[in-house]
């Protein structure tokens, strides 16, 4: 059995990418992918290294049954391109940063996370940091949908 390693990346690793990590961990557990996937998150910038997720992200996630409070922010490193098969950016700006740091020998997938769910009709997970609670709910809606699509893909179910 091949193990897939997935890294979710946003800017500071306190809103979108830890939400994606927490949601996908839960969905992976529900769909029998535990043991077949390794999941982590990071930020392209080191603003919040060592900090827990934003309290608003934690609160919104907890309301839907996802506990992201234990996660701690870290900055993405070049070595992550050897640790992970799939690196998913939350938006095009962070994808650009990752593309610039990507080693030539990286043979994995570097893409926008929402591209796994083209039916959503959007490609960027919006940054909720400067907005209200509805932004965090929108992030969860998008991430839940894309996480379910990714789990189906990894399970071999393309429905």
- Single out the residue of 46, 49, 67, 48 nearest to residue 57, CA to CA: 67
Among residues 15, 16, 80, 86, which one is catalytic? 16
Q: Which position has the token pair 């999941």?
A: 39
Among residues 10, 15, 25, 56, which one is catalytic? 10
Q: How far, in Å, are 34, 42, 70, 122, 151 from residue 117 at the CA level?
A: 21, 21, 28, 9, 11
As a residue count, the chain comes to 159
- 75 phi/psi in degrees, rounded to 5: -95, 140
Q: Check if 16 is active-site.
A: yes
Among residues 40, 54, 91, 127, which one is catalytic? 127
Give strand ranges (E) for the chain: 4-10, 37-43, 86-89, 109-112
Catalytic residues: 10, 16, 127
């Amino acid at each position: 059995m091949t193990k897939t390693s997935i890294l979710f990346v946003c800017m500071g690793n306190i809103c979108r990418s830890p939400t994606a990590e927490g949601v996908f961990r839960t969905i992976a557990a529900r769909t029998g992918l535990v043991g077949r996937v390794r999941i982590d998150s990071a930020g392209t910038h080191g603003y919040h290294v060592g900090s827990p997720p934003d309290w608003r992200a934690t609160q919104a996630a907890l309301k839907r049954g996802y506990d992201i409070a234990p996660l701690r922010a870290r900055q993405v490193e070049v070595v992550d391109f050897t640790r992970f098969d799939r690196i998913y950016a939350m938006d095009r700006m962070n994808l650009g940063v990752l593309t610039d740091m990507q080693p030539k020998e990286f043979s994995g997938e570097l893409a926008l996370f929402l591209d796994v769910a083209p039916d959503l009709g959007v490609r960027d997970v919006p940054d909720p940091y400067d907005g209200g609670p509805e932004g965090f709910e929108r992030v969860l809606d998008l991430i839940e949908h894309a996480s379910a699509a990714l789990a189906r893909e990894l399970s071999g179910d393309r429905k």
